[in-house]
Amino acid sequence: MTRSILSGMLGLISVLALGGLPVACQSGGVGDPCVPEDEYKTDFAGFKVTEENIESRSFQCQTRICLVNHFQGRVSCPYGQTKPATGGAATNGCQTAGSTADDANKACCIPGTDTVIEAEVCGQCAPDSQRDAAQAVYCSCRCGVADGEPPDPNFNFCECPTGYSCEQIRPNVGLGDPLLTGKYCIKQDTKFVTEGTCGTVKGHYNATQCKGVGFTTDS
């Protein structure tokens, strides 16, 4: 009886210990669409094209990595919105990741609900900018250490599939989790160069908040 209890305790400890280790990178699923968890917050105004975000425990991705590679706005609300007077349920419907210009006047909502986002949201960068959701937000995997860092033989780096290149996304500046720094698989020819590539924003635009230029709802 005592041996059985002890065995069970050791098994639990082993599981907990494994849970604290970095998950080995898998390349399967790279490029699959994902909606970052931040978009399930009602006060989240959206991502900034000047920044990157690496969600390392995404259950939407086989790789567990949802990469936001210098993207503006919200994946689930392509055309953004002005700040609503009140929150609550949308009265004119909600945009979705697949919305077109016909839906540009709809609200930004928590994905899968009609709960309106309580913040002003920028429209996404132009599709030809390589910074819209299709080109900058998807499942990825870590394929190498940061530039200037020594090799890490203990991490199971992935190999990028055809159509993707291994590029540095997050340098190691001594902050945050060092196992998230380094290189990730990104779509070829989509490496971030400058915020000036955002182009003409298709949707809500506010010069003090949004990068890019203009305001258009042309399809």
Query: What's the pLDDT at 55?
Result: 96
Examine residue 2 and state whether it is found in any structural domain, yes or no: no
Residue 20 is predicted with a pLDDT of 40
**Contact 197/131 with Cβ under 8 angstroms?**
yes
Q: Quick check: is 3 in a domain?
A: no
**Is this model's pTM higher than 0.75 or not?**
yes
Which neighbouring-strand residues pair with 23?
none
In the chain, the amino acid numbered 13 is: I
Report pLDDT for 106.
95
Within-domain flag for 4: no
pLDDT of residue 8: 46
User: What is the rounded distance in angstroms from the CA atom of residue 153 to the CA atom of residue 148?
Assistant: 15
Structural domain count, the chain: 1
Domain presence at residue 17: no
61 part of a folded domain:
yes
Q: Are 145 and 15 in contact (CB under 8 A)?
A: no
pLDDT averaged over consecutive 10-residue blocks of the chain (219 residues)?
Answer: 42 39 59 97 96 95 97 97 85 92 93 96 94 97 94 94 97 82 97 92 93 66
Is 10 inside any structural domain?
no
Residue numbers of the domain that contains 91: 28-214
Please tell me the predicted confidence (pLDDT) of residue 27. 56
Question: What tokens does 208 get?
Answer: 């003090």
Please indicate, yes or no, if residue 72 is contained in any of the structural domains.
yes
Contacts of 147 (CB under 8 A, 6+ apart): 168, 171
Is 12 contained in some domain?
no
What's the pLDDT at 16? Answer: 38
